[in-house]
Amino acid sequence: MERPLRTSANRRKALKTSAFLCGNRRLLSLLLWLLPLLSHAQAGEKMAVVEVIGPGKAPVATESLLKLCRKYQVPTTAVYRWQNHLIAYGKAANIQAFQKNLAAVYAGDEVKYYPAPFYKFDRHYCADKTTANQWDNIILTANLVKDPKQQQEYLNHHATQFQKWPEVAQGFCNASFQQLLVFRQGRQLMLVISIPHGASLDELNPKTSLNNPRVDDWNALMKQYQTGLPGTKPGEVWVFLKPVLTKQQVSVKR
């Protein structure tokens, strides 16, 4: 097929574009170098959680929290709930910026701020350090037992887990977990498990203990330190918080 002849205007435009690209080759090289870092930026970001707890069993109204999220650039898809618990999870700087407004907005409700995780797993503990471009975050919550001594034992175990229980991190690697954070405020724990976008936690989680019995030993040890929140069923400990909004699906025309 023959190429159509360019008009003189098109030729001038093409020459300008070519000159721009040549003159900015260093800038383009820098951008191309940065692209992998930008796509995996969440792996190194500092994250935080803020929580609103209603006085009764009724769900906490979501609209005020969603408005604050929009104002302070926290994704509205990162707002989760369980019964009378409503939380937002996002970049620490953004969460810190709007959490101070919550006491006034949610007068009469309890507001809790989880500024930083006390435990963090990420892919640098894995032989394959590759991270997925997009993650789905699964958030769970539970309480520690009331005994302060046992609470401290729980924290100590996590502080030395990578040295004394390396099989646990290896299990997370085997399950393709991208990141796992544990936050604490008082007795309450927030667990954030990040997995590749579109993957299923039900399918990935069994891989943590496959041919890896030390993970089962760790889980059995941790059970003695954990208990359910008020409102959980007998014997129920960790509960899943569900997203208030679902991510919009983008259709691709073919």
pLDDT the model gives residue 57:
84
CB 74 within 8 A of CB 91: yes
- For 132-187, how does the pLDDT look when each residue is reduced to its tens digit (9 = 90+)? 999 999 999 999 999 999 999 999 999 999 999 999 999 999 999 999 999 999 99
Task: Report the chain's mean pLDDT, rounded to a whole number.
Answer: 85
Give the dihedral sign, CA 234/112/108/84.
negative
pTM for this model (two decimals): 0.81
- For 72-105, how does the pLDDT look when each residue is reduced to its tens digit (9 = 90+)? 999 999 999 999 999 999 999 999 999 989 989 9
For residue 247, is pLDDT > 70?
no
CA distance 157 to 179: 19
pLDDT the model gives residue 193:
98
Lowest-pLDDT range of 1-5, 107-111, 153-157, 206-210? 1-5
- Torsions phi, psi for 78 (to 5 deg): -100, 20
* Nearest alpha-carbon partner for 78 in 48, 54, 58, 99: 48
- The band of 246, judged by pLDDT with boundaries at 50, 70 and 90, is confident
CA distance 154 to 162: 14
- For 179-222, how does the pLDDT look when each residue is reduced to its tens digit (9 = 90+)? 999 999 999 999 999 999 999 999 999 999 999 999 999 999 99
For residue 25, is pLDDT > 60?
no
Percent with pLDDT over 70 in the chain:
80
- Which are the contacts of 113, defined by CB distance < 8 A and separation ≥ 6? 48, 49, 50, 51, 95, 96, 99, 185
pLDDT the model gives residue 42:
60
CB 79 within 8 A of CB 66: yes
Residue with more model confidence, 142 or 30: 142
Angle, CA 210 vertex, CA 205 and CA 215 arms, to 5°: 75
Residue with more model confidence, 99 or 30: 99
